[in-house]
Amino acid sequence: MRSDLMKKGIERAPHRSLCKAMGLTDDELKRPIIGIANSANEVIPGHQHLHDIASAVKMGVAMAGGTPLEFSTIGVCDGIAMGHEGMKYSLISRELIADSVEIMATAFPFDALVLICNCDKIVPGMLMAMLRLNIPAIILSGGPMLTGHHEDRSVDLISVFEGVGAKNSGKITDQEFAELEDNACPGVGSCSGMFTANSMNCLSEALGLALPGNGTIPAVTAARRRLAKEAGKKIMELFEKDIKPRDIATPKSFENAMYVEMALGSSTNTVLHLPAIAHEADLTLELKKFNEISAKTPNLCRISPAGPAHMEDLNRAGGIPAVMGELNKKELLDLTQMTVTGKSVKENIGSAHSLNEEVIRSIDLPYSADGGLAILFGNLAPDGAVVKKSAVDSKMLQHSGPARIFESEEDAMEAILADKIKKGDVIVVGYEGPKGGPGMREMLSPTSALAGAGLDKDVALITDGRFSGGTRGAAIGHISPEAKMGGPIAVVQEGDTIDIDISGRSLNVKLSQKEIEQRLTQWTEPDYKVKKGCLYRYARQVTSANTGAIFKD
């Protein structure tokens, strides 16, 4: 056993003595030691209940003959960090989480790992650690939040963000706004739409690194606790069979996840995280691959913000196994791939199918013939950009308009709230990329303000930063190269015409290549916005969004 490095032999008597100081018995030390990485804290609603989930996991491990030892990681709630300096620290937390799990699982050589997480960057951070360490491991989410209800409609966190724009433009009263705030997030769990957290938890299933139900079983249900116990039992089986993450997360498994990603219309942030996760397994996911798979994948789901359904609806409709079952009707998936159940994708799916075609459409009657995400290329984004196509109004799939230039999210937000943005405009926000931000902030506030003001069907927003999975409208992010690296977005000027063709996968500024190059010769790279601490180190090491914003080798 790997844990023998810290517990076996006469020379490890001091180590055993320290373990006994924690109450461990000789019998417990003889068993496999299972590390339980738990990102529970009291500042994220999706993580507040994770100590309960960890208790269930540890019970499952003990039932199957292992000794669980729990440790913690950090976590950032993007919703609470949104719109202020804190958002610069969200993406960097992904790398710190991966590093912290690596440190703990090496300083304490566990035989296997269960990684408990739920939100935003915590999920991809732990997936990165799994593949980096490559010891038997399962990832387990805390489950999605239940849907909120306000008056006669379902609501969620994004409803409140969009309520800011509606309140500012006089469309709702103070009382309606306060009631919306009170009712949108009814309890613990990851926010209830197909935002980044739930997207990544669903794709963990599709990759085969999480148990079926991981992405959709609600946080507050007994089924979530039973799943946690099952994860504890299953990790012992993976240990005994020596099944490791890289045995599961193969190139074909990543393709399976991308098919599911496109069928779901998941968060644009998945295009940032999947390449970073693959990199840890020494694999490369190029942006063009996403378009290739999107072209073959019907969009089957319109979960909030793309439509009225929420995660509990997706769960009742059959969850990710049902989505994969629909995709299998067109033979899009590789069913031979191994999963953490110890079974193949084919065995996991079985006869799963949609139980509600208003939530998971039949593959013969999709929302669209292609996937929910699109990668755009052109003279404004030579290395690519990404948009959640399924959340864009049809009349904005092609759009041409004048550029409105801003060098920060705050400046753009101020202009929106001051009614300085007009129908047809294309808001361009530069210097918000991984290096330029630094930290590649999500811009949910300005896109929600546009939606709340009723401008999401008339105004586009493009940036080298990124968007929340809750963003809807023609919001195009991850423009690469970013402005700080001298990408063309750095030299777009007020009034330049921006041509957007989401269906045609293109993003261009109406300038000749000669004019762009001439402007770039006169451009000077600005200094780093932050010159101390972890953000400064991050800005100096991080690569472009099209690579997954990984660190330089």
Phi, psi of 427 (to 5 degrees): -75, 130
Residue ranges of the alpha helices (H) in 270-418? Answer: 270-280, 287-296, 311-316, 319-328, 345-349, 409-417
Look at the block and give the residue holding tokens 């998936």: 333
Residue 468 bears catalytic tag: yes
Tokens of 327: 């995709």
Q: Are β-strands 33-38 and 67-72 bridged in parallel, bridged antiparallel, or unpaired?
A: parallel
CB 30 within 8 A of CB 9: no
- Find all residues with CB under 8 Å of 422, minimum gap 6, and list them: 459
Tokens of 526: 């600005």
Report CA torsion sign: 260, 265, 269, 271. positive
Is the bond into 481 cis (omega within 30 degrees of 0)?
A: yes
From CA 248, how far away is CA 437, in angstroms rounded?
A: 35
Would you say how long the chain is, in residues? Answer: 553
Of 278, 196, 280, 286, the residue nearest 480 (C-alpha):
286
From CA 439, how far away is CA 540, in angstroms rounded?
A: 11
CB 293 within 8 A of CB 258: yes
- SS3 for 451-508, per residue? HHCCCCCCCEEEECCECCCCCCCCEEEEEECCHHHCCHHHHCCCCCEEEEECCCCEEE
CB 442 within 8 A of CB 467: yes
From CA 414, how far away is CA 411, in angstroms rounded?
A: 5
Tokens of 146: 């239940």
3-state DSSP helix/strand/coil percent for the chain, to nearest 5? Answer: 45, 15, 40
From CA 48, how far away is CA 41, in angstroms rounded?
A: 5
1 burial type by CB count under 10 A (0-12 exposed, 13-18 middle, 19+ buried): middle
Q: Which one is catalytic: 3, 90, 354, 468?
A: 468
Which uninterrupted H or E stretch holds 159? helix 157-168
For 74-117, list the strands marked E by DSSP.
Answer: 112-117
| Identity of residue 7 | K
Residues involved in catalysis: 468
